[in-house]
């Protein structure tokens, strides 16, 4: 991390912190400088942390690395597109948090520091007015020890309650001249052990490694699954006990371990359909539907004609076929040109790659453009990842959508199902809910792999 002032201009500033970027796995470490602004000479620290560290956890790391004692309030902020976005403490004694502010406990650093050179402001002790500039300097994906560590730095942290940058600069000048009349006043105020030039990186790391960085279930969920973090920006944990009970059962700390046999089963309909389309594509009807011959082939392949009365091969009579066509479109695997359904370059590449298809499909969920769609879909993914019973799932839906404010207790489950239709239809299509469609009563249990898929979707 670094201060806003250039090194060498004689100001208190920070160096770089090492953080991993969102383009990398959550365990990749980042390196970047942190500077204390508007002071001289510069005080700075270079720190390496994981990319999934929450801003509340980054606060603890910075306090330790810089040498503050965490006596006062603090806040983070970023400047983007001409506007400032602020991230505040969960509890802000003596004043109400900004209505536009987001809780620092809900935001990972790789959501705000997204590329090398990204800048994050860190304010501490609003009375004294200490500001720090944190810069993402480097992304390092080849680190085995993922503990936070201070790599380098210079000069001691100013004493707490010393009056801010201007007063501290004056005190430094006085302390450098034993003949100054105020010399004894300043040195007494600082204490006999304070040395403004001293910095011991080993001592800092000893304290850093002793930090209790244990996370609550909610903090772990937010750190590993950004979609859950966005949900809890608007949901109070105390008001959704059924949802909170499911979070530990999602086992979000388990990394993806999909293998080829599982992926082949889960992605069978998607890969088969893309193979059927082929390099030349297939002709559509004038209304944009699949032609009867292909509908018949799909019914035959997947036994979707069982229980059907009559011989209709029209897509409009088979929602499963429509779901399949819509699924590959939503995943960016097909496109329509001159009346033909064609594979995209991505679709052609994944047609024979079930594991790649699994990872791609998981990365695109939850489906939907509106927040109510992705909120509802996230709830269904949580229920699936936790193997929730239909009773627990529905109870959770009623509680959570009521807390979100877009459904009543009477219509909560129905509204959530409607809002999450695109995602749930996809999960039904691939068989993640078992051989059932649209929450039909008496459906069979979900296959064992469905939890893994739902967890991967939440994590990406």
Domain end, chosen from 210, 241, 274, is at: 210
Mapped to the 3 state alphabet, what secondary structure does the chain carry?
CECCCCCCCCCCCCCCEECCCCCCCCCCEEEEEEEECCCCCCCEEEEEEECCCEHHHHHHHHHHHHCCCCCCCEEEEEEECCEEEEEECCCCCCCCCCCCCEEHHHCEHHHCCCCCCCEEEEEECCCCCEEEEEEEEEECCCCCCCCCEEEEEECCCCCCCCCCHHHHHHHHHHHCCCCCCCHHHHHHHHCCCCCCCCCCHHHHHHHHHHCCCCCCHHHHHHHHCHHHHHHHCCCCHHHCHHHHHHHHHHCCCCCCCCCHHHHHHHCHHHHHHHHHHCCCCEEECCCCCECHHHHHHHHHHHCCCCCCCCCCCCHHHCHHHHHHHHHHHHCCCEEEECCEEEECHHHHHHCCCHHHHHHHHHHHCCCCCCHHHHHHHHHHHHHHHCCCCHHHHHHHHHHHHHHHCCCCCCCHHHHHHHHCHHHHHHHHHHCCCCCCCCCCCCCCCCCCHHHHHHHHHHHC
Q: What is the distance between the alpha carbons of residues 12 and 199, in angstroms, rounded to a whole number? A: 13
Residue 47 shares a structural domain with residue 194: yes
Residue 43 shares a structural domain with residue 183: yes
How many structural domains is the chain composed of? 2
Specify if 307 maps to a domain. yes
Q: What is the pTM of this model?
A: 0.72
Residue 172 shares a structural domain with residue 241: no
Residue 107 shares a structural domain with residue 248: no
Residue 306 shares a structural domain with residue 420: yes
Domain end, chosen from 168, 184, 210, is at: 210
Q: Which domain holds residue 314?
A: 215-460
Residue 168 shares a structural domain with residue 308: no
Residue 423 shares a structural domain with residue 307: yes
pLDDT beneath 70: ranges in the chain: 1-32, 91-100, 144, 212-213, 305-311, 408-410, 412, 435-444
Specify if 356 maps to a domain. yes
Residue 100 has a pLDDT of 66
Q: Write the CB contacts of 130 (distance below 8 Å, at least 6 apart in sequence).
A: 36, 37, 68, 123, 124, 158, 164, 165
Cβ-contact 39, 11 below 8 angstroms: yes
Residue 145 shares a structural domain with residue 256: no
Specify if 235 maps to a domain. yes
Provide the phi-psi class of 442: left if phi over 0, else alpha when psi is between -120 and 50, else beta.
Answer: left
Residue 366 has a pLDDT of 94
Cβ-contact 423, 366 below 8 angstroms: yes
Domain end, chosen from 156, 178, 210, is at: 210
Specify if 143 maps to a domain. yes
Residue 213 has a pLDDT of 66
For residue 442, list its beta bridge partners. Answer: none
Specify if 8 maps to a domain. no
Residue 369 shares a structural domain with residue 279: yes
Q: What is the distance between the alpha carbons of residues 195 and 259, in angstroms, rounded to a whole number? A: 57
Residue 30 has a pLDDT of 57
Residue 238 shares a structural domain with residue 107: no
Residue 274 shares a structural domain with residue 171: no
Q: What is the distance between the alpha carbons of residues 364 and 226, in angstroms, rounded to a whole number? A: 13
Specify if 39 maps to a domain. yes
Specify if 288 maps to a domain. yes
Residue 192 shares a structural domain with residue 85: yes
Specify if 11 maps to a domain. no
Cβ-contact 159, 69 below 8 angstroms: no
CATH for 127: 3.10.290.30
């Amino acid at each position: 991390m670094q201060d806003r002032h250039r090194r060498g201009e004689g100001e208190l500033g920070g160096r770089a912190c090492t953080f991993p970027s969102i383009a990398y796995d959550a365990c990749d470490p980042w390196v970047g400088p942190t500077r204390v602004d508007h002071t001289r000479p510069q005080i700075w620290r270079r720190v390496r942390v994981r990319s999934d560290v929450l801003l509340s956890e980054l606060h603890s790391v910075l306090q330790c690395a810089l040498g503050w004692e965490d006596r006062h309030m603090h806040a983070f902020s970023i400047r983007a597109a001409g506007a400032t976005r602020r991230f505040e403490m969960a509890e802000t004694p003596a004043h109400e948090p900004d209505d536009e502010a987001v809780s620092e406990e809900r935001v990972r650093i790789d959501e705000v520091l997204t590329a090398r050179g990204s800048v994050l402001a860190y304010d501490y002790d609003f009375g004294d007015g200490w500001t720090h500039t944190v810069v993402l300097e480097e992304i390092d994906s080849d680190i085995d020890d993922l503990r936070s560590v201070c790599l380098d730095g210079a000069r001691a942290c100013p004493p707490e309650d010393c009056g801010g940058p201007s007063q501290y600069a004056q005190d430094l000048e006085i302390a450098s001249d034993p003949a100054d009349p105020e010399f004894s006043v300043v040195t007494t105020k600082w204490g006999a052990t304070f040395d403004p030039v001293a910095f011991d990186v080993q001592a800092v790391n000893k304290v850093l490694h002793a930090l209790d960085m244990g996370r609550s279930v909610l903090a772990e969920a937010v750190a590993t699954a950004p979609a859950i973090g966005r949900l809890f920006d608007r949901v109070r944990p105390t008001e959704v006990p059924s949802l909170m009970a499911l979070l530990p059962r999602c086992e979000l700390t388990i990394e993806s371990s999909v293998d080829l046999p599982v992926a082949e089963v889960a992605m069978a309909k998607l890969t088969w359909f893309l193979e059927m389309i082929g390099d030349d594509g297939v002709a559509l009807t004038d209304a944009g539907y699949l032609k009867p011959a292909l509908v018949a082939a799909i019914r035959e392949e997947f036994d979707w004609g069982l229980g059907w009365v009559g011989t209709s091969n029209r897509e409009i009579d088979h929602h499963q076929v429509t779901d399949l066509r819509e699924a590959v479109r939503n995943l960016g695997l097909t496109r329509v040109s001159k009346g033909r359904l064609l594979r995209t370059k991505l679709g052609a590449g994944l047609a024979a790659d079930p594991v790649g298809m699994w990872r791609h499909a998981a990365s695109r969920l939850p489906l939907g453009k509106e927040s109510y769609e992705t909120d509802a879909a996230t709830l269904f993914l949580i229920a699936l990842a936790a193997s929730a019973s239909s009773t627990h799932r529905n109870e959770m839906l009623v509680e959570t959508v009521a807390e979100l404010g877009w459904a009543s207790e009477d219509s909560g489950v129905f509204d959530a199902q409607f809002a999450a239709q695109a995602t749930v239809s996809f999960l039904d299509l691939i068989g993640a809910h078992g051989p059932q469609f649209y929450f039909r009563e008496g459906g069979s249990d979900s296959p064992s792999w469905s939890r893994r898929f739902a967890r991967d979707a939440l994590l990406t």
